[in-house]
A and B are shown apart, each in its own frame.
Chain A
């Protein structure tokens, strides 16, 4: 599975969009990009995943560059409850196991 690089920390004003970048320059063609978050030492929570097309769900949007070497998770209207560590994970599309490889993640602090 490809390695990912994320900024250690970011701040965002409440009500504004939070844009969290992730670099995965060694991603291969069948690998997907996943995002999870962990709020205050709770168990991680799935947010979204995608292959090459932009994806949107009720929680967030995922923008993947055309060369697939980087992506951005967008929380459109951040709230204080979105303060968490966000993990970008790349996993093989052919993998039939549930295992995930977590990096250090980005600590997002949403400020009033």
Chain B
């Protein structure tokens, strides 16, 4: 049981490049979310999904796209990377019941030059 798996762990991009951050969970969780964390700050919600085929925006969605074609996967796409998107990205999942704890991946550290 791997939990929440994020790939890659590290990535360096040039401004304007595109990239997809992968997130997969093997716990059959309905809910999945993407957060970003900038130095010295708490996590901020980017996008979330309550099930396959359903996504919605969080606090800071601009510059990011998501889709949820399967229960297991929730990729985050940067269409045209900008230096302001340099951050650590965390994916999380949970079951649909009220007050179920969220399980987080180990993060992807992304630098955009």
Interfacial residues, chain A to chain B (CB-CB below 8 A): 32, 36, 41-46, 49, 87, 93, 95-105
Interface size band for B: 20 to 34
Q: Shortest distance in angstroms between B101's beta carbon and chain A's nearest beta carbon?
A: 3
How many contacts between A and B, using CB within 8 angstroms?
Answer: 65
The answer to whether the Cβ of B33 comes within 8 Å of any Cβ in the partner chain is yes
The answer to whether the Cβ of B12 comes within 8 Å of any Cβ in the partner chain is no
- The SS class assigned to the B binding surface is strand
Given A98-B31, A99-B33, the answer on whether A44 and B45 have CB atoms closer than 8 Å is no
- The answer to whether B99 touches A49 (Cβ under 8 A) is yes
- The answer to whether A44 touches B43 (Cβ under 8 A) is yes
New A-B pairs, 17, CB < 8 Å, besides A36-B102, A99-B48, A100-B92: A41-B107, A42-B107, A43-B92, A44-B90, A44-B92, A44-B102, A93-B99, A97-B31, A97-B56, A98-B32, A98-B94, A98-B100, A98-B102, A99-B33, A100-B33, A100-B45, A100-B102
Interfacial residues, chain B to chain A (CB-CB below 8 A): 4, 31-33, 35, 41-45, 48, 50, 56, 58-59, 88, 90, 92-94, 96, 98-107
